[in-house]
Structure 1
Amino acid sequence: MDRKNKPVARVSAPVRSMRFDLSPKALDRWNPTIKAAAESDNTISILDIIGEDWWTGEGVTAKRIAAALRSIGDNDVDVVINSPGGDMFEGLAIYNLLREHSGHVTIKVLGLAASAASIIAMAGDEVQVSRAGFLMIHNAWTFAAGNRHDFRSYADYLEPFDEAMADIYVAHTGIELATIQTMMDGETWIGGSAAVEKGFADSLLASDEIERGEDRPEAHSARRVENALRASGMPRSEAKRLISELKAGQRDAGGNGARDATPDGRAIKLQAEPLPKISFPTL
């Protein structure tokens, strides 16, 4: 199917009281060290969560992708993906940007293209996936709070996102809508070879195009803890505050020393007095 004939993702603006979030299972299965072995000037890397990442100050946003496409101009572009997903609104916006690009778009799924990242993968003229890679499709995932009226409105708000995603998968794969909806309802994981067989990808990616990069375990662990706290019902702001306090406590415990304050409020660092040396008689 010609990329320009794929459906445009038309969804309403995000609601402030609600945020699309990572699937905990996708975050657990994501290996953030996987990256492309080589990149050209016309390569766009999507190797992080979709949307702004509070923990690293990074993340992949539509604004960033739009800037990269402007720099590339009308040339062909390779988009390498290894992402657990994230903000579905941003993912659909990035899909639209790639769909409208005038040059040829090749998508390369290096490791994982889950949730919003799997939607981005559908924007390519050609989609390649590693044999050990996965796509994951599901209904829009969010954490929300409120009363029964709020939750009814949240469900109504999410429905067009699920419809937009289903239309994109159907257009790309040729699979019937009812089958795609069932796959999304069940959070379906699709391995590399199966992705080619089912039409989500066109071919397998050569293994020498993938390598392992530097790991950032602290940011990855913080995301997992935040997701666990959010799943327990804790608001996002409270989860961030709690984790930040724990991290600050670890820094102090790691050698920064205890802190106190002078009468005028200035912080001082307390140094422990050395213990007296004691000699014991030998027997």
Structure 2
Amino acid sequence: MIILSFWNFKNSEENEEEIELRIDGDIAMDDDFWSMLFGIENVTPKGFMAELSKYKGKDINVWINSYGGDVYAASRIYTALKEHKEKVKVKIDGVAISAASVIAMAGDEILMSPTSICMVHNPWGNFQGEAKDLRHGADVLDEVKETIINAYQLKTGKSRAKISQMMDEETWMSAKKAVSEGFVDGILYSESEGETAQNSFMFSRLRVQNSVNDSTRKFIEQYNKRFKELKQDGEANKIKLLKARLALECEL
């Protein structure tokens, strides 16, 4: 099975000293088992960093359109972009939701399309076991949240308490709101990209949420179907791997 990366580096047509990078998919860890099992197309950090290393000395324009994914993978991509010595400009042209919003914070300058959306929320996790295991899982999620707050605070300068509250409330931001909250620096295509546009894009939170929930539902249906097939085939190792991934995976 061929796993397609959902990032793409290419030379800028306008400036040979710049590179254009597009991130357009779910963010996952290297050799993600879900991808191998279902053929889901992902952004994985190992291959990403290998490609990024080819463009030392060049500015990078990063276009983002992603619903998020694995928080650990997002952390590696965020760090790789922060380590890039030249300028990194992030442009959100669709959505930067969840873990994708963490990656966006790596930009030296962050701009949003007037029709785009940014969302921050608390990390999610799936844990199994007795009561003490579930309590430990909650502690893990609390620590993961602290690492995410670090990225948002470095960009916005907001207090940790305020950012934590925004994550608790699952905050959806139009371009105008994201500028006012300090998550981005400006809006694309306005007279001055560093200034807030007068009319922000209006969106239906329910519509976006339904889209995310529908994708999750389809994924769970695929998982349950494949799990039953593996169990019938007696492939014990794959079943154990599925259970371990479900128990330990921590996603945004």
Q: Secondary structure at the match of 2:26?
A: coil
Q: C-alpha distance in 2, partners of 1:65/1:99?
A: 14
- Work out whether residues 125 and 137 of structure 2, in 8 Å CA contact, stay in contact via their aligned partners in 1: no
After superposing on structure 2, the runs of 4+ consecutive aligned residues of structure 1 that deviate more than 3 Å are 223-226, 239-244
Q: Give the drift of 1:110.
A: 0.8
1:93-104 superposed matches below 5 A: 93-104=76-87
Number of residue equivalences:
193
Instruction: Specify the alignment match of 1:48 in structure 2.
Output: 25
One of 202, 208, 217 as aligned partner of 1:228? 217
Please give the root-mean-square deviation of Cα atoms over the aligned residues, in Å.
3.2
- Work out whether residues 44 and 68 of structure 1, in 8 Å CA contact, stay in contact via their aligned partners in 2: no
Q: C-alpha distance in 2, partners of 1:224/1:199?
A: 28
1:238-264 deviations in whole A, cap 9, x for unaligned? 3544799xxxxxxxxxxxxxxxxxxxx
1:148-227 superposed matches below 5 A: 148-206=131-189, 227=216
Q: Give the drift of 1:84.
A: 0.3
1:127-175 deviations in whole A, cap 9, x for unaligned? 0111111111111112333221221111122222100111211110112
Q: C-alpha distance in 2, partners of 1:226/1:154?
A: 25
1:154-205 deviations in whole A, cap 9, x for unaligned? 1122222100111211110112211110010111111111111111111112
- The answer to whether the aligner puts 1:145 opposite 2:138 as a matched pair is no
Report the TM-score, using the length of structure 1 for normalisation: 0.61
- Work out whether residues 121 and 168 of structure 2, in 8 Å CA contact, stay in contact via their aligned partners in 1: yes
Which structure has the larger Rg over C-alpha atoms? 1
- The answer to whether the aligner puts 1:115 opposite 2:128 as a matched pair is no
Instruction: Specify the alignment match of 1:71 in structure 2.
Output: 54
Q: Relative contact order, CA 8 A, sep 6+: which one is greater?
A: 1
Q: C-alpha distance in 1, partners of 2:80/2:178?
A: 23
Q: C-alpha distance in 1, partners of 2:215/2:224?
A: 10
Cα pair distance change 1:226/1:201, threshold 3 Å: closer
Q: Percent identity between the aligned chains?
A: 35
Q: Give the drift of 1:94.
A: 0.7
Structure 2 letter corresponding to 1:146 = G
Q: Which runs of 5+ in 1 are unaligned?
A: 1-34, 208-222, 245-283
- Work out whether residues 226 and 243 of structure 1, in 8 Å CA contact, stay in contact via their aligned partners in 2: no
- Work out whether residues 226 and 239 of structure 1, in 8 Å CA contact, stay in contact via their aligned partners in 2: no
Structure 1 letter corresponding to 2:151 = I
Specify which structure has the higher proportion of helix. 2
Q: C-alpha distance in 1, partners of 2:228/2:86?
A: 46
- Work out whether residues 27 and 100 of structure 2, in 8 Å CA contact, stay in contact via their aligned partners in 1: yes
1:201-248 deviations in whole A, cap 9, x for unaligned? 1111239xxxxxxxxxxxxxxx966622777xx8x843544799xxxx
Q: Which runs of 5+ in 2 are unaligned?
A: 1-6, 13-17, 191-211, 231-252
Q: Secondary structure at the match of 1:172?
A: helix
Instruction: Specify the alignment match of 1:256 in structure 2.
Output: none
Report the TM-score, using the length of structure 2 for normalisation: 0.68
Instruction: Specify the alignment match of 1:238 in structure 2.
Output: 224
